[in-house]
Structure formats: C-alpha cells, structure tokens
Amino acid sequence: MENVQELALDILIAACETDEVGEDLDLDLFEAGLMDSLASVSVLLELEERTGVRLQPTDVDKDDIRTVNKFAEFLKEKIG
C-alpha cells in the first residue's frame, strides 16, 4: 500500500496537532515533546476515524508511534 506513509503522517499530525511532525520522518516524537500518552490514544482514534480499523491500546507499543517512519511500518503490518 503506497499511501500508508501518507496515512501515518496524517494521523500523527492530527494526533500531535502540529504539521511539524512532517518535517523529519525519523524524528523521535516523544523526545521532541510532540507526543505523550494522551496523544497516543488520539492516534488510535484518528486511525479508526480514517480507516475504520479499531486497534486497542495494548496493540500499540510506544516504539510503534515513535517516528512517522516507524508508524508507517507498523501500519503496513497491521492493515497493509
């Protein structure tokens, strides 16, 4: 799925509520202070809204949403 990367980016931009997420796809979002535990719940909400796929908080590790690229990989595996 080609647009998984884009989907990952869109979801993380929406969850972190900032476009800055897109500036560096390997940026550690937790370290950059853009992502926290509440935002990680938003990731699941955004995913469900956009794709209809409902994942559980237990399905996602912190590392899966640490960077845009890692999240894209994760999505490929889960829904790709």
Q: Which positions lie near another protein, rule CB under 8 A? A: 16-18, 20, 23-24, 27, 31-34, 36-39, 41, 44-45, 56-58, 60-62
CB of 1 to another protein, least distance (A): 26
**Cβ proximity to another protein, 2 vs 19, nearer residue:** 19
CB of 36 to another protein, least distance (A): 7
User: How buried is 19 (Cβ within 10 angstroms: 0-12 exposed, 13-18 middle, 19+ buried)?
Assistant: exposed
Phi-psi region of 24 (alpha: psi -120 to 50; beta: other; left: phi over 0): beta
